[in-house]
Amino acid sequence: MTKSDDTIEILRSSALGDIPHGFLGRRGGVSGGIFASLNCSLGSDDNSDHVLENRRRAVAAVLPGADLSRVYQIHSPDVVTVTEPIDQHNPPKADALVTNRHGFLLAVQTADCVPVLFSDAKAGVVGAAHSGWKGSITGVTDNTILAMEALGADRANIACAIGPCIAQKSYEVDEGFFRRFAEEDAANERFFADGKPGHFQFDIEGYVAARLAAFGITQIECLGQDTYSQPERFFSYRRSCHKGEDGYGGQMALIGLPI
Protein backbone atom coordinates (compact mmCIF):
# COMPACT_ATOMS: atom_id res chain seq x y z
CA MET A 1 0.00 0.00 0.00
CA THR A 2 1.26 3.46 -0.88
CA LYS A 3 0.41 6.62 0.99
CA SER A 4 1.57 10.20 0.55
CA ASP A 5 2.06 12.40 3.65
CA ASP A 6 2.87 16.03 2.72
CA THR A 7 4.19 14.78 -0.65
CA ILE A 8 6.39 12.14 0.99
CA GLU A 9 5.67 8.76 -0.56
CA ILE A 10 5.42 6.00 2.03
CA LEU A 11 5.17 2.35 1.09
CA ARG A 12 3.71 0.24 3.86
CA SER A 13 3.39 -3.50 4.31
CA SER A 14 0.19 -5.28 5.21
CA ALA A 15 2.34 -7.94 6.92
CA LEU A 16 3.44 -5.39 9.53
CA GLY A 17 -0.10 -4.26 10.28
CA ASP A 18 -0.52 -1.23 12.51
CA ILE A 19 3.07 -1.04 13.69
CA PRO A 20 4.39 2.41 12.64
CA HIS A 21 6.64 1.83 9.66
CA GLY A 22 7.37 2.87 6.12
CA PHE A 23 9.66 2.50 3.16
CA LEU A 24 10.31 6.02 1.88
CA GLY A 25 11.23 7.03 -1.64
CA ARG A 26 12.95 10.16 -2.90
CA ARG A 27 9.90 12.47 -2.96
CA GLY A 28 9.01 15.15 -0.46
CA GLY A 29 12.36 16.54 0.66
CA VAL A 30 14.37 19.74 0.25
CA SER A 31 17.49 18.52 -1.58
CA GLY A 32 18.13 19.41 -5.20
CA GLY A 33 20.00 18.19 -8.26
CA ILE A 34 21.07 14.55 -8.24
CA PHE A 35 20.03 14.38 -4.57
CA ALA A 36 16.46 15.54 -5.19
CA SER A 37 14.62 15.47 -3.02
CA LEU A 38 14.28 13.34 0.18
CA ASN A 39 17.94 12.36 0.38
CA CYS A 40 18.61 10.97 3.87
CA SER A 41 22.32 10.18 3.42
CA LEU A 42 24.80 12.23 5.44
CA GLY A 43 27.51 10.27 3.65
CA SER A 44 26.60 11.91 0.34
CA ASP A 45 27.94 15.24 -0.92
CA ASP A 46 24.55 16.82 -0.36
CA ASN A 47 24.13 19.83 1.95
CA SER A 48 24.07 18.35 5.46
CA ASP A 49 21.38 20.78 6.62
CA HIS A 50 19.18 19.54 3.78
CA VAL A 51 19.78 15.92 4.79
CA LEU A 52 18.91 16.63 8.42
CA GLU A 53 15.72 18.39 7.37
CA ASN A 54 14.85 15.43 5.15
CA ARG A 55 15.37 13.09 8.08
CA ARG A 56 13.18 15.29 10.26
CA ARG A 57 10.44 15.08 7.65
CA ALA A 58 10.86 11.31 7.41
CA VAL A 59 10.39 10.87 11.16
CA ALA A 60 7.39 13.22 11.19
CA ALA A 61 5.75 11.21 8.41
CA VAL A 62 6.13 7.81 10.09
CA LEU A 63 6.23 8.31 13.88
CA PRO A 64 6.05 11.99 14.92
CA GLY A 65 8.08 12.79 18.00
CA ALA A 66 10.21 9.64 17.83
CA ASP A 67 13.98 9.59 18.21
CA LEU A 68 15.70 8.58 14.95
CA SER A 69 18.01 5.62 15.51
CA ARG A 70 20.44 4.62 12.78
CA VAL A 71 23.81 2.94 12.32
CA TYR A 72 26.88 3.59 10.17
CA GLN A 73 26.33 0.83 7.64
CA ILE A 74 29.34 -1.30 6.70
CA HIS A 75 27.81 -4.30 4.85
CA SER A 76 28.20 -6.51 7.91
CA PRO A 77 26.04 -9.04 9.78
CA ASP A 78 26.22 -6.90 12.94
CA VAL A 79 23.17 -5.76 14.93
CA VAL A 80 22.76 -2.98 17.51
CA THR A 81 20.16 -3.20 20.29
CA VAL A 82 18.75 0.29 20.84
CA THR A 83 18.10 1.25 24.46
CA GLU A 84 19.04 4.95 24.36
CA PRO A 85 19.29 7.73 21.76
CA ILE A 86 21.95 7.37 19.06
CA ASP A 87 24.01 10.35 17.94
CA GLN A 88 23.15 10.85 14.26
CA HIS A 89 26.62 12.25 13.63
CA ASN A 90 28.49 9.41 15.36
CA PRO A 91 26.42 6.23 15.10
CA PRO A 92 27.80 2.76 15.84
CA LYS A 93 29.00 0.64 12.94
CA ALA A 94 26.52 -2.13 12.10
CA ASP A 95 23.79 -2.97 9.58
CA ALA A 96 20.74 -3.68 11.68
CA LEU A 97 18.95 -2.44 14.76
CA VAL A 98 16.38 -3.90 17.16
CA THR A 99 14.47 -2.48 20.11
CA ASN A 100 11.64 -3.14 22.55
CA ARG A 101 11.55 0.48 23.67
CA HIS A 102 8.83 2.90 22.63
CA GLY A 103 9.77 6.21 21.06
CA PHE A 104 12.69 5.04 18.94
CA LEU A 105 12.34 4.96 15.16
CA LEU A 106 14.79 2.43 13.72
CA ALA A 107 16.18 3.42 10.33
CA VAL A 108 18.23 1.80 7.60
CA GLN A 109 19.32 3.56 4.45
CA THR A 110 19.49 2.02 0.99
CA ALA A 111 20.13 2.85 -2.65
CA ASP A 112 19.71 -0.64 -4.21
CA CYS A 113 20.45 -2.88 -1.21
CA VAL A 114 17.57 -4.63 0.51
CA PRO A 115 15.79 -2.93 3.42
CA VAL A 116 14.03 -5.40 5.72
CA LEU A 117 11.65 -4.41 8.51
CA PHE A 118 10.74 -6.86 11.29
CA SER A 119 7.95 -6.86 13.86
CA ASP A 120 6.69 -9.09 16.64
CA ALA A 121 3.69 -6.98 17.59
CA LYS A 122 2.64 -9.36 20.35
CA ALA A 123 5.99 -9.13 22.15
CA GLY A 124 6.51 -5.47 21.30
CA VAL A 125 9.84 -5.94 19.51
CA VAL A 126 10.84 -4.45 16.16
CA GLY A 127 13.90 -4.50 13.93
CA ALA A 128 15.35 -3.09 10.74
CA ALA A 129 18.16 -4.44 8.57
CA HIS A 130 20.25 -3.19 5.65
CA SER A 131 20.84 -6.35 3.67
CA GLY A 132 23.29 -5.83 0.84
CA TRP A 133 24.75 -8.90 -0.78
CA LYS A 134 27.62 -9.11 1.74
CA GLY A 135 25.36 -8.75 4.74
CA SER A 136 22.82 -11.10 3.22
CA ILE A 137 25.21 -13.98 2.70
CA THR A 138 26.89 -13.50 6.10
CA GLY A 139 23.60 -13.51 8.00
CA VAL A 140 22.45 -9.99 8.89
CA THR A 141 18.79 -11.05 8.80
CA ASP A 142 19.51 -14.17 10.86
CA ASN A 143 21.28 -12.06 13.47
CA THR A 144 18.45 -9.52 13.55
CA ILE A 145 15.99 -12.28 14.40
CA LEU A 146 18.29 -13.61 17.13
CA ALA A 147 18.66 -10.12 18.60
CA MET A 148 14.87 -9.72 18.61
CA GLU A 149 14.51 -13.06 20.38
CA ALA A 150 16.96 -11.84 23.03
CA LEU A 151 14.45 -9.06 23.73
CA GLY A 152 11.55 -11.50 24.07
CA ALA A 153 10.31 -11.92 20.52
CA ASP A 154 8.98 -15.25 19.30
CA ARG A 155 10.20 -16.29 15.86
CA ALA A 156 6.78 -17.73 15.08
CA ASN A 157 5.24 -14.29 15.52
CA ILE A 158 7.81 -12.21 13.62
CA ALA A 159 6.55 -10.64 10.40
CA CYS A 160 8.99 -9.26 7.82
CA ALA A 161 8.62 -6.83 4.95
CA ILE A 162 11.20 -6.46 2.17
CA GLY A 163 11.16 -3.01 0.66
CA PRO A 164 12.36 -1.37 -2.57
CA CYS A 165 15.66 -2.78 -3.81
CA ILE A 166 17.39 -3.57 -7.08
CA ALA A 167 15.45 -6.16 -9.06
CA GLN A 168 16.84 -9.22 -10.81
CA LYS A 169 16.35 -7.66 -14.25
CA SER A 170 18.58 -4.75 -13.18
CA TYR A 171 21.24 -6.59 -11.18
CA GLU A 172 23.95 -8.00 -13.41
CA VAL A 173 26.82 -9.83 -11.69
CA ASP A 174 29.88 -11.68 -12.89
CA GLU A 175 30.72 -15.37 -12.61
CA GLY A 176 32.89 -14.86 -9.52
CA PHE A 177 29.93 -13.37 -7.69
CA PHE A 178 27.73 -16.28 -8.77
CA ARG A 179 30.33 -18.81 -7.63
CA ARG A 180 30.53 -17.30 -4.17
CA PHE A 181 26.81 -17.90 -3.60
CA ALA A 182 26.78 -21.29 -5.33
CA GLU A 183 29.68 -22.52 -3.22
CA GLU A 184 27.96 -21.31 -0.06
CA ASP A 185 24.91 -23.43 -0.95
CA ALA A 186 24.19 -25.08 -4.30
CA ALA A 187 20.50 -24.23 -3.82
CA ASN A 188 21.43 -20.56 -4.23
CA GLU A 189 21.82 -21.13 -7.97
CA ARG A 190 18.06 -20.71 -8.29
CA PHE A 191 18.42 -16.98 -7.60
CA PHE A 192 20.56 -16.44 -10.70
CA ALA A 193 19.34 -16.22 -14.28
CA ASP A 194 21.58 -16.34 -17.32
CA GLY A 195 22.73 -12.97 -18.60
CA LYS A 196 25.25 -11.99 -21.24
CA PRO A 197 28.25 -14.35 -21.59
CA GLY A 198 30.04 -14.74 -18.28
CA HIS A 199 27.35 -12.85 -16.39
CA PHE A 200 24.16 -13.54 -14.44
CA GLN A 201 21.12 -11.64 -13.17
CA PHE A 202 20.82 -11.92 -9.38
CA ASP A 203 17.50 -11.96 -7.54
CA ILE A 204 18.62 -10.48 -4.23
CA GLU A 205 15.05 -9.86 -3.08
CA GLY A 206 14.23 -13.54 -3.57
CA TYR A 207 17.44 -14.58 -1.85
CA VAL A 208 16.71 -12.48 1.24
CA ALA A 209 13.12 -13.76 1.40
CA ALA A 210 14.34 -17.35 1.17
CA ARG A 211 16.93 -16.70 3.85
CA LEU A 212 14.22 -15.41 6.18
CA ALA A 213 12.03 -18.42 5.45
CA ALA A 214 14.90 -20.83 6.07
CA PHE A 215 15.40 -19.19 9.47
CA GLY A 216 11.81 -19.89 10.46
CA ILE A 217 9.94 -16.75 9.40
CA THR A 218 6.52 -17.58 7.95
CA GLN A 219 5.13 -14.05 7.47
CA ILE A 220 7.11 -12.39 4.67
CA GLU A 221 5.96 -9.72 2.25
CA CYS A 222 8.05 -8.59 -0.73
CA LEU A 223 6.98 -5.21 -2.08
CA GLY A 224 8.57 -5.95 -5.46
CA GLN A 225 9.75 -2.41 -6.21
CA ASP A 226 12.88 -1.99 -8.37
CA THR A 227 15.02 0.97 -7.28
CA TYR A 228 17.11 0.96 -10.47
CA SER A 229 14.31 1.30 -13.02
CA GLN A 230 12.28 3.97 -11.21
CA PRO A 231 14.47 7.09 -11.10
CA GLU A 232 11.56 9.36 -10.25
CA ARG A 233 10.77 7.33 -7.11
CA PHE A 234 13.99 5.88 -5.74
CA PHE A 235 17.70 6.52 -5.43
CA SER A 236 19.96 3.87 -7.01
CA TYR A 237 23.71 3.54 -6.62
CA ARG A 238 24.05 1.37 -9.70
CA ARG A 239 21.94 3.63 -11.87
CA SER A 240 23.98 6.66 -10.78
CA CYS A 241 27.19 4.82 -11.67
CA HIS A 242 25.84 3.85 -15.10
CA LYS A 243 24.79 7.46 -15.74
CA GLY A 244 28.20 8.78 -14.68
CA GLU A 245 26.75 11.00 -11.97
CA ASP A 246 28.99 12.54 -9.30
CA GLY A 247 27.08 11.00 -6.41
CA TYR A 248 23.81 9.51 -5.27
CA GLY A 249 21.33 9.82 -2.44
CA GLY A 250 19.75 7.28 -0.13
CA GLN A 251 16.22 6.52 0.99
CA MET A 252 15.20 5.29 4.42
CA ALA A 253 13.15 2.41 5.76
CA LEU A 254 11.73 3.08 9.22
CA ILE A 255 9.97 1.15 11.98
CA GLY A 256 9.19 1.82 15.63
CA LEU A 257 6.83 1.14 18.49
CA PRO A 258 4.05 3.67 19.11
CA ILE A 259 4.84 6.52 21.48
pLDDT band at 1 (very low <50, low <70, confident <90, very high): low
Q: What is the edge-to-edge ordering of all strands in the sheet holding 114-120?
A: 79-81, 96-99, 125-131, 114-120, 159-162, 219-222
Is the confidence at residue 4, as pLDDT, over 90? no
Report pLDDT for 88: 85
Burial class of residue 124, CB neighbours in 10 A (0-12, 13-18, 19+): middle
Is the confidence at residue 3, as pLDDT, over 80? no
Round to whole Å and give the CA distance between 138 and 156.
Answer: 22
Q: Which amino acid is at 35?
A: F
Report pLDDT for 32: 97
Residues with Cβ within 8 Å of 230's Cβ and at least 6 positions away in sequence, in order, are none
Closest CA to 70 of 51, 90, 54, 52: 90
Give the model confidence (pLDDT) of 191-217 as tens digits: 999 999 999 999 999 999 999 999 999
pLDDT band at 115 (very low <50, low <70, confident <90, very high): very high
Whole-prediction pTM value? 0.97
Domains, the chain, ordered by start:
2-167+203-256 (3.60.140.10)
